[in-house]
Amino acid sequence: MLIIGPPGSGKGTQAERISERLGVVAISTGDIFRANVKGETPLGLEAKQYMDAGDFVPDSVTNRMVRDRLSHGDVADGFLLDGYPRTVAQVDELDAILSETHTKLDVVLQLTADDEELVSRLLGRALETGRSDDNEAVIRHRLDLYHGQTEAVVAKYAERGILRRVDGIGGIDEVTDRVMDAIREAVAGETTSA
């Protein structure tokens, strides 16, 4: 399973809740990058340059990290990827990784939200957490990147019939209910979206 959405749409929060409710491992590329940055690993130092500018970490670095993570035994009963794939090239790489392990995606959840709401959310989060990658110019740049690159990813999964769009605006519990409904619909093979 994948969860996709613009920065600030609540992907991380919803990924944790899905993981708890379904008993699958949530894998967040953002968390892995931030841990490497905090630990000042070579990968973290490389990733920090891109993250601070609001740019995506290059596919080559991200793909290696995801390939390694999906080789761990805890993903055997299912997983939820949060923050990957973000580009069409990463979709192709994920397809290759899953093919090698005879695994397929069951559902791709896309959280949707208005850009101005997202900017407001992220500026609030920056004040609370002191994240250096959350200022208005960087946030707007990240949203532009999302719209320019990730929407092509969404289109690919929509063509495959596994995309479910979920409104990400509202209370956390309300959004979680919509997400769980979308997962149930996908598993049941229904074609409606939340």
> Does 96 fall in a domain?
yes
Please indicate if the annotation marks 142 as binding a ligand. Answer: yes
> Does 194 fall in a domain?
no
Beta bridge partners of residue 108, listed in sequence order: 2, 163
Count how many domains the chain has.
Answer: 1
Active site residues: 11, 86, 125, 131, 142
> Does 193 fall in a domain?
no
pLDDT in tens, 105-140: 999 999 999 999 999 999 988 888 876 667 899 899
> Does 73 fall in a domain?
yes
Contacts by 135-138, CB closer than 8 A, 24 or more apart: 137/54, 138/52, 138/53, 138/54
Provide the whole-model pTM: 0.83
CATH number of the domain that residue 128 is part of:
3.40.50.300
Please indicate if the annotation marks 170 as binding a ligand. Answer: yes
Please indicate if the annotation marks 104 as binding a ligand. Answer: no
> Does 87 fall in a domain?
yes
- Note down the domain range covering 182: 2-187
> Does 192 fall in a domain?
no
> Does 108 fall in a domain?
yes
Which of 6-10, 53-57, 87-91, 160-164 has the lowest average pLDDT?
A: 53-57
> Does 70 fall in a domain?
yes
Please indicate if the annotation marks 83 as binding a ligand. Answer: yes
Residue 81 has phi, psi (to 5 degrees) of -90, 130
- Residue 177's contacts (CB-CB under 8 Å, 6 or more residues apart) are none
